[in-house]
Chains A and B, each alone.
Chain A
């Protein structure tokens, strides 16, 4: 009777194996390298790597607000693009109805764009 019971977790056995292997490797590789590898520590090596230029000052400095504005606008418009994909995939099937709907949608977006453009949120130099 009990031999026929299949635990619901059985399909996940490979996942458990992979997890175990990954954990093992994560411990093994650093352990081996610190044991076996040659070591030399000097000032240049321990300095922060910043694409070859000298790291100067704290990384937690303030950014100009215009970065925020552009970033916010980017996020908003970027996410709206998500709605274009399903329409693009089903363009033929949706026909004129889909086209009309998307024109209305895009019109609203363009109005928003016109607004921020005229407001000067897109001009970098000021």
Chain B
């Protein structure tokens, strides 16, 4: 239940928020919600698979965070803002 709420907060955040860093945090929130779901179900069933899954998800999330932050820094350097609405130069 908590995980579902977290996931929804994360998803809404990605869709609504303007600041790139906040969007970024919301994505991490979604990943952790999935993590929590895996753990809750694993505990419920007494099954190890969910626990192992959580390890892998954490590791992957860390790698993703590293690359994501680097990209946000690159964006900030090239235009001095992390506001998503200003990051729109390419048009149809």
A79 on the B face (CB < 8 A): yes
- In Å, the complex CA distance between A80 and B66 comes to 13
Total interface residues in chain B, CB < 8 Å: 10
Q: Which of A12-20, A33-41, A45-53, A68-76 contacts B (4 or more CB under 8 A)?
A: A68-76
The minimal Cβ–Cβ distance linking A4 to chain B, given in whole angstroms, is 26
The answer, among B59, B69, B70, B73, for a CB contact under 8 Å with A79, is B59
Q: Is the CB of A76 within 8 A of B55?
A: no
Determine the main DSSP class of A at the interface with B.
Answer: helix
Q: Is the CB of B73 within 8 A of A76?
A: no
Greatest chain B CB density within 10 A among A72, A76, A78, A80 is at A72
Q: Give the interface of B toward A (CB within 8 A).
A: 55, 58-59, 62-63, 65-66, 69-70, 73
Q: Give the interface of A toward B (CB within 8 A).
A: 65, 68, 72-73, 75-76, 78-80, 82-83, 86
